[in-house]
Amino acid sequence: MSKKNTPQESHISLYRKYRPVDFKDVVDQDHVVSVLEQSIKDGLIGHAYLFHGSRGTGKTSIARIFARAIGTTQNDLYEIDAASNTSVDDIRALTEAVNTVPLESKYKVYILDEVHMLSKAAFNAFLKTLEEPPKHVIFILATTEIERIPETILSRCEVYTFKKPTVDILTGVVQKVSKSEGYTIDASGAELVALLGDGSFRDTLSTLQKVISASKGTSISREFVEEITNAPKSTLVNGFTEALLRKDAQKAIEHLHLALSDSIDVKLFSQLCLERLRSVLLVQIQAKSGVDIKEIDSIKKTVEGIPAAHTASVIKKILEIQYQIGKTYIPILPLEVVVGEICV
């Protein structure tokens, strides 16, 4: 990620600008890339692939890279949004088009994005062509919901599962892209951008772009990220978690309701609390990695006298109610219940 900003590129979104263009640019999908590269090297090109994983994990980008790697030019690469072409007639038009020879490449590659959106009848109409396409045709199907793909379709494809990137991986991407764009972002701020990206490279870089666009200088702090994204303030997160650890119900509720008054996302607040508590636990058990070195001394002072077993118990309580957050009539209620269970 050593790309430099130019006047012509200033209007391009970061996730497009830093989209991988070669296999070596792909981050955290080595298990997919290595197999595809080897198959190309050995000349063992399949006729149908299915890439599945959560949004923003690089499925379409790797499909394009694969197409270029086997010599398919832009004129012989076709990208179809299955969500907008769901009918039998759409698929029939596709199956007729595949019979024409490539314009200038050995292969015509068809990328069908969000393929799970096809109707049952459309899948049935597509089945025969997918099973025995012309020798010059390769299909790459992409989906975020593999459970909605009929088994008859899956059995005719080489299936690749894309990993959801960790917060650590995304934090590294944020720092590298920020540097390439001429900005410095502190470790905590980069981690928050990564958390807001929710396991998506695309969403992470979109959040970073929002932060960079609002910045009046080249140095970006966590506090600035919180301000621009309306993320829960670290002072409230830290205050709430410390109160839980010290079994101080009054302070815990006070910090929780102060956060709520800022119209924060309760689920994000709980995630940030878990991140903070994880750091606390790692410091308590003297782990040698996983914690920002700048935070270690302050964490030690904050949790002095609190046993690691209690921290682990608090973490378990919050993990138990994660699935309830956002589903209750009162969004903050699951966390208030946690306060009651731990502090009273």
Mean pLDDT, contiguous 10-residue spans, the chain (344 residues): 46 88 94 97 95 95 97 95 84 90 96 93 91 94 96 96 94 95 94 93 95 94 93 92 94 92 86 92 84 80 88 94 85 92 89
pLDDT in the model for residue 11: 61
Which amino acid, residue 5? N
The structural domains of the chain, ordered by start, are 29-161 (3.40.50.300), 167-229 (1.10.8.60), 234-343 (1.20.272.10)
pLDDT in the model for residue 290: 74
Question: Over 280-340, what HEC string results?
Answer: HHHHHCCCCCCCCCCCHHHHHHHCCCCCHHHHHHHHHHHHHCHHHCCCCCCCCHHHHHHHH
Instruction: For Cα atoms 138, 26, 183, give the angle at the middle one, nearest 5 degrees.
Output: 140
pLDDT in the model for residue 262: 81
CB 46 within 8 A of CB 138: yes
